[in-house]
Amino acid sequence: MPKKNVVVIGAGFAGISAATHLAASGYDVILLEKNAGPGGRARQFEAEGFVYDMGPSWYWMPDVFENYFAHFGKKPSDYYELIRLDPSYTVVFGKDEFMEIPADYGRFKALLESLEPGVGPKLDEFLKQAAYKYQVGINDLVHKPSRSLMEFASPGLLADVIRMDVFQSMSKHIRKFFKHEKIIRLMEFPVLFLGETAENIPALYSLMNYADISLGTWYPMGGMFKIVEGMVLLAEEKGVKFQYNADVSHINVKNGRASNVVLKDGRSFEADVVVAGADYHHVDSALLAPEYRNYSDNYWDKRVMAPSSLLFYLGVDKKLENITHHCLFFDEQMGPHADAIYKNPRWPERPLFYLSAASKTDPSVAKEGTENLVILIPLAPDLADGEEVREKYFNIVMDRLEMLTGQEIRSHIVYKRSYAHSDFKADYNAFKGNAYGLANTLLQTAILKPSLKNKKVGNLYYTGQLTVPGPGVPPSLISGHVVAKEVMKEHRI
């Protein structure tokens, strides 16, 4: 009996994960990628002796990566060297207010005790609860396809849902344990990866604090793209065939099933199953005829998007002081202007920003005596991002960076590239120029996310950051596995 053909669209983490799981299970899998190479938002580029990861720069939840490779009898060290960062990252609260977050838990607890005497036992209890949420959330809940409430109907799971503070905000939950403003802001930081402020994120996601404090911040030498390279090698070993510069024009549907995927250059690929790892909204609205769309324009417009980003990739011709590999600049308060970052269709007056300096850890990403910097400013989606406004915000953050770190930087920049909303749209067909997908609000969790299965096309599935389980690299790896299991269940070989 011939193998069933699976066409996967998009070679990001979720697409490669889905393709590899399916190929390893005996399906004939071809993966179509519109860009010249794999990785999606996690692509990498080189310029003038500097090597830049274009997107994700935080390696959290190492167990998810270990489990991914272990599924195929491999381990991360087969593909890349992983080191734990210490300090994990630095939080900058103001001039001469630098908080380096130690990797060691005892030193971390002592740091918090120095700010709020007696807080140690509260921290222990907070992380005990966070560990439980992580165990249940990452090992169980996120692996559910979330196509029916019945998946969550067991008494034990319902009890877990209540125990995990699903209906309380992270903001309130954190303030039950901590009083010092700097500790509160430190504890609220990890949920920013989920695309919303702590006021609008369920306390379930204190599991992110466990990932941060207990599991640690890691780095694959050579950059985050080393993960992509390892995944591609494994995928090819399992039989996945990659086609780059393969920009999809449309998906043909016959008798309620996707029959073939057609590229803009006219090539066509027959399919028994299609898995869309490209931007969900783009697939739904641009690749399918209107009658086969899962969701309306009105539905998408009402979704709460995670932020987009303005990024600057910089090469500096000297070594810099007072920075570490990861630096969070909280010198401006989240406070009343926070919604400007996430929702309001305007540029914020006082932007937060993040600095990645991989050259502090990895000499391979920059020439000797230089620094490789990436600056990220979180912004509301769907903003106009011309060169004039990009340059304005570059100067805003550089003024602060130079003042806070006490050094001249701009005159030493020998390479500079910006990347924002219009680039996300051009490269990834990103809905409203989003960088991270949907925010993980309570009303956009589990079955309330866009479904991983098309309701009108019987063999079309979706994976990635706009469906379950949500945004981020580890969730994307899991998303690919979840959708692959659904395909295997419903389209047996």
Structure tokens at 224: 């985050």
Rounded CA separation 208/187 (Å): 9
Return contacts of 394-397, CB within 8 angstroms, 24+ apart. 394/312, 394/418, 396/351, 397/312, 397/329, 397/351, 397/353
Helix (H) or strand (E) holding 416: strand 413-419
pLDDT digits (tens, 9 = 90+) for 333-380: 654 445 445 556 689 888 889 999 999 999 999 999 999 999 999 999
Residue 99 lies in a domain: no
14 in Cβ contact with 275 (< 8 Å): no
Query: Do 396 and 464 belong together in one domain?
Result: no
pLDDT exceeds cutoff 80 at 55: yes
Query: Do 352 and 417 belong together in one domain?
Result: yes
Residue 158 lies in a domain: yes
pLDDT digits (tens, 9 = 90+) for 414-452: 999 999 999 999 999 999 999 999 999 999 999 999 999
Residue 96 lies in a domain: no
Residue 462 lies in a domain: yes
Query: Do 365 and 421 belong together in one domain?
Result: yes
Closest CA to 99 of 113, 89, 85: 89
User: How confident is the model over 24-29, as a mean pLDDT?
Assistant: 98
Structure tokens at 286: 């641009």
Residue 344 lies in a domain: yes
Rounded CA separation 300/237 (Å): 38
441 in Cβ contact with 304 (< 8 Å): yes
Place of tokens 């309620």: 256
Query: Do 204 and 318 belong together in one domain?
Result: no
Query: Do 455 and 484 belong together in one domain?
Result: yes
DSSP string, 419-486: E-HHHHHHHH--GGG-SS-B---GGGSGGGSPPSB-SSSTTEEE-STTSSS-SSHHHHHHHHHHHHHH
CATH number for 135:
1.10.405
Domain's final residue, options 406, 428, 450: 428
Query: Do 298 and 310 belong together in one domain?
Result: no
Residue 460 lies in a domain: yes
pLDDT digits (tens, 9 = 90+) for 73-124: 999 999 999 999 999 999 999 999 999 999 999 999 999 999 999 999 999 9
Instruction: Show the domain range for 165.
Output: 106-215
**pLDDT value at position 335?**
47
CATH number for 361:
3.30.519
**pLDDT value at position 161?**
64
**pLDDT value at position 3?**
87
Query: Do 268 and 337 belong together in one domain?
Result: no
- Rounded to 5 degrees, φ, ψ at 138 are -80, -30
Higher pLDDT, 393 or 156: 393
Query: Do 325 and 424 belong together in one domain?
Result: yes
Query: Do 412 and 457 belong together in one domain?
Result: no
Residue 98 lies in a domain: no
Cis peptide before 475 (omega within 30 of 0): no
**pLDDT value at position 138?**
94
Mean pLDDT of the chain: 94
Rounded CA separation 325/360 (Å): 6
Confidence of residue 158 (pLDDT cuts 50, 70, 90): low
User: How confident is the model over 20-45, as a mean pLDDT?
Assistant: 98
| Region for residue 48 given its phi and psi (left: phi exceeds 0; alpha: psi -120 to 50; beta: otherwise) | left
Confidence of residue 1 (pLDDT cuts 50, 70, 90): low
C-alpha 474, offset from chain centre: 8
Query: Do 252 and 288 belong together in one domain?
Result: yes
Query: Do 52 and 122 belong together in one domain?
Result: no
**pLDDT value at position 149?**
84
**pLDDT value at position 349?**
86
Place of tokens 């130079």: 402
Confidence of residue 164 (pLDDT cuts 50, 70, 90): confident
**pLDDT value at position 165?**
85
The pTM score is: 0.97
- Centre a 10 Å sphere on the Cβ of residue 83 and count the other Cβ atoms it contains: 12
pLDDT digits (tens, 9 = 90+) for 290-306: 999 999 999 999 999 99
**pLDDT value at position 193?**
82
457 in Cβ contact with 258 (< 8 Å): yes
**pLDDT value at position 22?**
98
Closest CA to 268 of 427, 30, 428, 38: 30
Rounded CA separation 263/76 (Å): 34
**pLDDT value at position 122?**
98
CATH number for 61:
3.50.50.60
User: How confident is the model over 224-250, as a mean pLDDT?
Assistant: 98
Domain's final residue, options 180, 215, 250: 215
Residue 413 lies in a domain: yes
**pLDDT value at position 493?**
86
User: How confident is the model over 210-218, as a mean pLDDT?
Assistant: 98
Domain's final residue, options 193, 215, 237: 215
Domain count, the chain: 3
Rounded CA separation 378/347 (Å): 10
Q: Percent helix, strand, coil in the chain (nearest 5)? A: 40, 20, 40
Query: Do 232 and 282 belong together in one domain?
Result: yes
